[in-house]
Structure 1
Amino acid sequence: MVYMNNNKDGCPRCVKGKLIVLTETSETCCPKCGYVVDELSVDTGAEWRSNAGTDRPDRSRAGSPTSLTMHDRGLSTRISADNKDATGKHLSSEMRYAFKRLKTWDGRLNTVTSKDKNLITALAELKRLEDKLVLNSSISEKAAYIYRKALEEKLVRGRSINALIAASLYAACRELGVSRNLKDFELHANIKRKDIARCYRLLLKSLTIRMPVVDPVSCVAKIASANLEITEKSKRYAIKILKEASEKHLASGKDPMGLAASALYLACVKNGEDITQRDIAQAADVTEVTIRNRYKGLKDMQTVDDKMILSIEQHKRRKIKLTNHEKYMNRKKKAEDDIL
Structure 2
Amino acid sequence: MAIRDIYETGFDEDIQTDSSTNQCPECDGWVTTNAVETVCEDCGLVIDEQRIDHGPEWRAYDDEERERTGAPLTAARHDRGLSTEIGRGTDANGNEISGQKRRRLARMRREQTRGRWRSKAERNLAHGLGEVRRLTSALELSDSVRDQACQLFRSAQNEDLLRGRSIEAIAAASVYGACRCNGRSRLVDDVSEMARVAESRVTNAYKTLNEELGLPAEPVSPSMFVPRLASDLECPDRIRQRARTLAEQAEERGVTTGVHPAGFAAACLYKAGREEGRWLMQSEVAGAANISTTTIRNHRDTLQQLDDEHSVGTKGDTERRGASAKSRG
> Shorter-chain TM-score: what band?
0.7 to 0.9
Secondary structure at 1:134's aligned position in 2?
coil
| Amino acid in structure 1 at the alignment position of 2:262 | M
Aligned partner (choices 269, 272, 286) of residue 274 of structure 2: 269
In the alignment, the residues of structure 2 paired with residue 253 and residue 25 of structure 1 have an alpha-carbon distance, to the nearest angstrom, of 56
What's the CA shift string for 1:234-271, capped at 9, x where partnerless? Answer: 21111111111222222222221122122222222322
What's the CA shift string for 1:56-91, capped at 9, x where partnerless? Answer: 422x45321111111111123334446648x88877
Q: 1:219 corresponds to which residue?
A: 225
Give the conservation status (yes or no) of the 8 Å contact 2:223–2:244.
yes
TM-score, structure 1 length as denominator? 0.73
Q: 1:77 corresponds to which residue?
A: 84
5 Å-filtered alignment, 1:159-178, equals: 159-178=165-184
Q: 1:101 corresponds to which residue?
A: 107
CA drift of 1:181 comes to: 1.3
After superposition, the CA RMSD in angstroms is: 3.8
Alignment gaps of 5+ in structure 1: 1-11, 14-22, 326-340
CA drift of 1:100 comes to: 4.1
In the alignment, the residues of structure 2 paired with residue 119 and residue 309 of structure 1 have an alpha-carbon distance, to the nearest angstrom, of 60
In the alignment, the residues of structure 1 paired with residue 296 and residue 99 of structure 2 have an alpha-carbon distance, to the nearest angstrom, of 72
5 Å-filtered alignment, 1:18-57, equals: 26-27=36-37, 34=44, 55-57=63-65
| Amino acid in structure 2 at the alignment position of 1:180 | R
CA drift of 1:93 comes to: 6.3
Question: Is the aligned partner of 1:312 residue 2:312?
Answer: no
What's the CA shift string for 1:1-50, capped at 9, x where partnerless? Answer: xxxxxxxxxxx98xxxxxxxxx99932879xx9498x9998858876997
| Amino acid in structure 2 at the alignment position of 1:144 | C
In the alignment, the residues of structure 1 paired with residue 256 and residue 57 of structure 2 have an alpha-carbon distance, to the nearest angstrom, of 57
| Amino acid in structure 1 at the alignment position of 2:249 | E
Give the conservation status (yes or no) of the 8 Å contact 2:88–2:102.
no
Aligned partner (choices 70, 73, 84) of residue 66 of structure 1: 73
Identity of aligned residues (%): 32
Give the conservation status (yes or no) of the 8 Å contact 1:28–1:41.
no
User: Which structure: larger Rg?
Assistant: 1
In the alignment, the residues of structure 1 paired with residue 212 and residue 55 of structure 2 have an alpha-carbon distance, to the nearest angstrom, of 44
Q: 1:112 corresponds to which residue?
A: 118
In the alignment, the residues of structure 1 paired with residue 145 and residue 251 of structure 2 have an alpha-carbon distance, to the nearest angstrom, of 27
In the alignment, the residues of structure 1 paired with residue 187 and residue 282 of structure 2 have an alpha-carbon distance, to the nearest angstrom, of 20
Secondary structure at 1:246's aligned position in 2?
helix
| Amino acid in structure 1 at the alignment position of 2:71 | S
In the alignment, the residues of structure 2 paired with residue 42 and residue 314 of structure 1 have an alpha-carbon distance, to the nearest angstrom, of 80
| Amino acid in structure 2 at the alignment position of 1:185 | V
Secondary structure at 2:232's aligned position in 1?
coil
TM-score, structure 2 length as denominator? 0.75
In the alignment, the residues of structure 2 paired with residue 186 and residue 211 of structure 1 have an alpha-carbon distance, to the nearest angstrom, of 19
Question: Is the aligned partner of 1:235 residue 2:240?
Answer: yes
In the alignment, the residues of structure 2 paired with residue 95 and residue 188 of structure 1 have an alpha-carbon distance, to the nearest angstrom, of 41
In the alignment, the residues of structure 1 paired with residue 282 and residue 109 of structure 2 have an alpha-carbon distance, to the nearest angstrom, of 60
CA drift of 1:315 comes to: 4.5
What's the CA shift string for 1:261-289, capped at 9, x where partnerless? Answer: 22222222322321232222222112222
CA drift of 1:320 comes to: 6.0
In the alignment, the residues of structure 2 paired with residue 88 and residue 282 of structure 1 have an alpha-carbon distance, to the nearest angstrom, of 51
5 Å-filtered alignment, 1:141-220, equals: 141-220=147-226
CA drift of 1:306 comes to: 2.1
Aligned residues: 297
CA drift of 1:298 comes to: 1.9
CA drift of 1:179 comes to: 1.7
CA drift of 1:113 comes to: 1.0
| Amino acid in structure 1 at the alignment position of 2:158 | E
| Amino acid in structure 1 at the alignment position of 2:307 | Q
Distance 1:235 1:95, change over 3 A: closer
CA drift of 1:165 comes to: 0.9
